[in-house]
Amino acid sequence: MKKLLNNTKQLLKAFVLPCLIASSCFSVAFASSHREAPLIANDPLADNTDLYAFRSPDNPNTVTIIANYIPAELPFGGPNYYNFGENIRYEIHIDNDASKPGDEIIYRFTFNRVNEDPTTFFNIRLGAQNIKTTYTMERSLDGGKNFFVAVKDGVVPPPNIGPRSIESGVGLGAGSYDELIEDAIASTSLGESVYCGPADDPFFVDLGAIFDLGDSPRLGSGPNRDGLAKYNVHSIAIQVPIRLLSKARTNPNSRNILSNDHIIGVWASASRKTTRVLSDDGTSAESGKWVQVSRIGMPLTNEVVIPIGDKDRWNASTPYDAAEASFYEYFYNPELGLYMDDDLFGGAVPSFTPLRIQKASLGAFDFTNGADGLFGLKGADALKGTALAAFPDLLLPGPGKPRSVDLWPIFHTGAPNLAPYQLATGKGGNPLAIGKPFINNFLPNGGDMLRLNMAVPATDRNSADFSSLGLVQAAVLGLTDPRFNATARTEFIPNMDGFPNGRRLEDDVTRIELQAVSGVVLAAIGLWYDDFNPKNRFASPVTKDLLNVITYSTGVENNDAAFKNKFPYVAAPWRGTEVKLQPSN
């Protein structure tokens, strides 16, 4: 194995690295799930862009789930503006029971478009819409066996064309576009709130720099810029009572913020019928069975982790397919890890210089690609009582799979409230000891999903502690802040409700995932970076390498529009009359 790995490294050094530098073949799509696979890039109406799931900050007995579709919508995209597709099933899937495979709850959305005024090329004129869209929301509480209509003829607001179309008397005569959003929110008999319609794209990343050989943050090509600034998407947002989502059918008990009873896995999809027939008169008809063409769970999976040759196959599969296991190797040995190691291709991506993976953590453990990580401990007495002993085949599947203990569970199982998945606070220098609990979203059922422990309180968005770094910041506070690091008992640390424990709109997932690839999760639980000296009992684990990773930034750390403080939380879509094609920040 080592000989094969060494030969592979030499081959990569000899051929791939020059290719990276000379021909710019380094290509990573960090737009979460925008145009991330060859087939779906040609079908934008069915393209999942992002998925969010978080405890509602102003309505704590509910969880808000937002599934976005249609990437890079130009606000001035007339005369045919973007809209949900009529012949597509948009679905939000929820798993709340690890004892059986498959979804427990499914929300299904289908859309219908009517031309109210076919005599004009304007989208809106004299109170009528050229294309007016409505939707039906169906709900299944038995895993898809039976569906029941929860919302019928729900209203989808029109595109935010401009003031004459929206507010004036010759248009819709609305008080404001925000008024249209408010009027479009539907309520159901089970207490859900629903919004389907245009919104600002809440994802933020410097797309131009990322595609320029990973130049993020930019080192010489001008200021960093949000490549999705002032673009829109279409959102399906639902706010659901926690008692409806949880396996226990109860609201969380505030005394146990890491309860096993309130963990859910969430993923979203889009499906089309197998056959489309085009007629001579310009019309078309769809027939056949429904086939999934797009999906999303964790952000950036199909963009950064899955290679180009498997992206279409990944979109066609579900988290419960047997084929899901064939993708695991991309998590055990992530391609991005190659660009965080100077022994391999780190020199080709100098912007990633602060991101370094542990090669000799505590003097013994190597987590770089092809190494063994913690596999050498499998079956050892030292693992007794830990998650690594309780789930050895999940977390220590074999040699040469170093990230099976951190990256893979983040995407595919969540983390249990067992050692070693607790903060190093209270461990006394032993990463396998019991430490300070700070996450439990363990749902070892299915594959790539957003996993959320709904019992964890929402961090006040106006608090000085609120951070877009999510669980990374919660770990920093738990390790270094005197309010939290003086005890190893369970307590709420701000941002414990952040990504990857669910995903809030504000979370900087690009930065968090790059930090995770570079081993920050391993450091949080006591597998410190190589420049920490475990033989010096007075040494601080907050070393230069750790600080470099924690303080790393892509240069774009927040959205270009402020989010709403109430449902549906997404910002209103940008107006076509007010947006330049290439905005600057």
Q: What is the pLDDT of residue 492?
A: 96
**Which one-letter DSSP state was computed for residue 114?**
E
With a cut of 50, say whether residue 29 has pLDDT above it: no
- Residue range 487-515, pLDDT digits in tens: 999 999 999 999 999 999 999 999 999 99
The average pLDDT across 481-487 equals: 95
The average pLDDT across 468-474 equals: 97
Q: DSSP letters along 115-174, please?
A: -S-TT-SSSEETTEESSEEEEEEEEESSTTS--EEEEEEEEEPPP---HHHHTSTTTT--
Q: Which residue(s) pair with 54 in the sheet? A: 64
What is the H or E stretch that residue 315 is in? helix 311-316
With a cut of 70, say whether residue 448 has pLDDT above it: yes
- Residue range 251-287, pLDDT digits in tens: 998 788 999 999 999 999 999 999 989 888 888 888 9
The average pLDDT across 365-369 equals: 96
With a cut of 50, say whether residue 408 has pLDDT above it: yes
The pLDDT > 70 percentage for the chain reads: 93
d(CA 474, CA 543): 18
d(CA 314, CA 298): 13
Q: What are 503's two structure tokens?
A: 């995903």
Q: What is the pTM of this model?
A: 0.92
- Alpha helix stretches (DSSP H) within 391-530: 392-395, 407-412, 470-480, 509-517, 520-524
Q: What are 229's two structure tokens?
A: 């600034």
Name the residue with tokens 């069915």.
46
- Residue range 135-191, pLDDT digits in tens: 999 999 999 999 999 999 999 999 999 999 999 999 999 999 999 999 999 999 999
- Residue range 291-330, pLDDT digits in tens: 999 999 999 887 777 878 888 887 888 999 877 788 899 8
d(CA 355, CA 357): 7
Q: What is the pLDDT of residue 498?
A: 97
Q: What is the pLDDT of residue 37?
A: 59
Coil/strand/helix, residue 368:
coil
Coil/strand/helix, residue 274:
strand
The average pLDDT across 552-576 equals: 96
Q: DSSP letters along 508-560, please?
A: -HHHHHHHHHTTHHHHHTT---TT--TT-TT--S--HHHHHHHH---S--S-S
Q: What is the pLDDT of residue 9?
A: 41
Give me the chain's average pLDDT, please.
90
With a cut of 90, say whether residue 2 has pLDDT above it: no
| Tally of CA atoms within 13 A in the half-sphere of 124 that contains its CB | 22
- Residue range 84-126, pLDDT digits in tens: 999 999 999 999 998 888 999 999 999 999 999 999 999 999 9
Q: What is the pLDDT of residue 346?
A: 85
- Residue range 47-97, pLDDT digits in tens: 999 999 999 999 999 999 999 999 999 999 888 899 999 999 999 999 999
The average pLDDT across 193-217 equals: 90
The pLDDT > 90 percentage for the chain reads: 75
The average pLDDT across 22-27 equals: 33
Q: What is the pLDDT of residue 301?
A: 81
3-state helix, strand, coil in the chain (%, to 5): 25, 20, 55
